[in-house]
Amino acid sequence: MQSAALRMEDSSHVEASASLHAEPCAFVLFGASGDLARRKLLPALYRLATEGYLPPESVIIGAALPLLSTEQFRASMREALAHSEVGPVDETAWRAFSRRLHYVPMNLSSAEDYQHLGRVLDTVDREHGTRGNRIFYLSLAPTLHAETVRHLGETGLTRSHGPGWVRLVVEKPFGTDLETARSLNQHLHRYLDESSVYRMDHYLGKEMVQNLLVLRFANRIFEPLWDRRHIDHVQITNAETVGVEGRGGYYEKAGVVRDMMQNHLLQLLALLTMEAPSDLSSQAVHDAKSQVMAAARAFTPERIRTECLRGQYVPGVLSGQPVPGYRQEPGVAPDSRTETFAMLTMRFDNPRWAGVPFYVRSGKRLARRVTEVVVQFKDGPLARGTPNQLLLRIQPDEGIALRFATKAPGRATRHHDVALDFRYGSAFDTRLAEAYERLLLDCMLGVSTHYVRNDLVERGWELVMPVLETWGSAHDSSPLLPYAAGSWGPAAASHLLESQGRRWSPPGE
């Protein structure tokens, strides 16, 4: 279990090196008029361009159904940017960036439209020097993934020409269950090698999630304690204050297990639990994740009944404002059984983790937006009070705190809990890049370490399928626990931990 020391490069060195210099490419954004493109992808590309990561030759081609001219598309992206987290837009920077933006109206089921796109790409190669390098980004409803890739393949666009490369990015959700995910993988592999497929999971682009590799394997002080001998249990909390944000139709068919757990939280868990990869190549990291996920214990009916639970929010108060319940949201059935909160207890049957529970909870409309991991250690021989905890603040206020007991000043020996607290915000004088900025740049660089490999996406589905099937079955009698919007979820989630002599560490503290 001893980890091999991984060689990590000093970050200032990496920034300065040539390794972050992408080759020019044409970036084709399918679904360019959609919400994700406007809120996240365009702002990320804009930041990459203004911060010098996008080579001057690179071009962004929006592809979507509306019949827009390139000028109209640019105007609509300008507006999207102003409403995004980028904030006030610098006019000079925008003018330079907007010249890279082009638009091709596309009906995704029309073969001719792909042929037209192919001709546009050839022209772009000639006129801008993008050298045949292409990224196709599918920011589409999942029902369109297979058809779009088939058309790209049949038009010859998934084949690289000359020295150029072709990469395909697939946004989540990747399938809606194990079967659909498997068949989508098979379909993609008909046209592309796995090495050209980039399955997006934006949690893997978050600063603190990427930091796990450094925290765990570049430090001597954590890894020797990172196992069943020293760790009592691990808590993962992913709390959102938002509800379903006008996405009721999608969410009704998804629920929190599909929307957050199968993908984001299992990926986070894999990074927390895996053995040290032999190096930081994508293959080594994916292999290590795959290995630990293979050891994740299956959810049996008994485990689902005793170690998992689900809830749905009812009207409540958030930040002093009354908010409706889930069933009152637009697009949601008045008798909906979709879970907006879930807690799963994950276990790994391997030498490192035998007997250590990982309590994972996630929910909408909870008291505060916070995602964090609490690693709770076993008691020291003279422990009195709270056991040692390592708190990984994924968001907001990214950082790490180590909580331990100290002697309170005075003549008597009184234990007092204190914390060593590291916060990115105060330790570094730089803006933390958004997850999409990092991941889009990785794709341009051909680095897929922080994307999801085919076997891992399937394993994620395989693990949650028994839970989804049980909760989705008309014969299931487990309760859908109501919780007030603005609370921390159903009280049963606390009772479950208490029944095992444990309790949730208050999130965000």
Active-site residue set:
264
426 to 455: interface string for ligand BG6, x by CB under 6 A: ------------------------------
Q: What is the DSSP string of 52-64?
A: T-S-TT-EEEEEE
Two tokens at 246? 């006008």
Question: Any idea which residue has 């046209």 for tokens?
Answer: 191
Give the residue with the Cβ less far from ligand BG6, 153 or 248. Answer: 248
Nearest CA among 8, 59, 63 for reference residue 210: 8
Nearest CA among 87, 79, 85 for reference residue 40: 85
Site for ligand BG6 in 123-182 (CB under 6 A): 172
Minimal CB distance residue for ligand BG6 = 259
Give the Cα separation of 347 and 356 in Å (integer).
7
Give the residue with the Cβ less far from ligand BG6, 202 or 216. Answer: 202
Give the residue with the Cβ less far from ligand BG6, 62 or 205. Answer: 205
Q: How far is the CB of 247 from ligand BG6 (least distance, A)?
A: 7
Q: In the Cβ-directed half-sphere of 40, how many Cα atoms lie within 13 Å?
A: 17
Q: How far is the CB of 362 from ligand BG6 (least distance, A)?
A: 9
Q: How far is the CB of 263 from ligand BG6 (least distance, A)?
A: 7
**CA distances, 145 to each of 149, 171, 261 (Å):** 6, 9, 21
CB 456 within 8 A of CB 284: no
Give the residue with the Cβ less far from ligand BG6, 377 or 471. Answer: 471
Site for ligand BG6 in 183-212 (CB under 6 A): 202
Q: How far is the CB of 161 from ligand BG6 (least distance, A)?
A: 34
Determine if the peptide bond prior to 396 is cis (ω within 30°).
yes
Residue count at the site for ligand BG6 (CB under 6 A)?
5
Q: From the CB of residue 400, how many other CB atoms can be counted at a distance below 10 Å?
A: 19
Q: How far is the CB of 34 from ligand BG6 (least distance, A)?
A: 13
CA angle 31/37/39 to nearest 5° reads: 150
Give the residue with the Cβ less far from ligand BG6, 245 or 498. Answer: 245
Question: Is the dihedral angle over the CA atoms 494, 495, 496, 502 positive or is it negative?
Answer: positive
> Quick one: DSSP state of residue 300?
-
Give the Cα separation of 399 and 428 in Å (integer).
11
Q: How far is the CB of 149 from ligand BG6 (least distance, A)?
A: 21
Please give the torsion angle defined by the CA atoms of residues 497, 502, 506 and 508, in that order, rounded to the nearest 10 degrees: -90
Q: How far is the CB of 239 from ligand BG6 (least distance, A)?
A: 10
**Interface with ligand BG6 includes 240 (CB under 6 A)?**
yes
353 to 372: interface string for ligand BG6, x by CB under 6 A: --------------------
Q: What are the residues facing 484 on neighbouring strands?
A: 314
Give the residue with the Cβ less far from ligand BG6, 85 or 509. Answer: 85
What amino acid occupies position 349? Answer: D
88 to 127: interface string for ligand BG6, x by CB under 6 A: ----------------------------------------
Give the residue with the Cβ less far from ligand BG6, 259 or 442. Answer: 259
Give residues in contact with ligand BG6 (CB under 6 A). 172, 202, 240, 242, 259
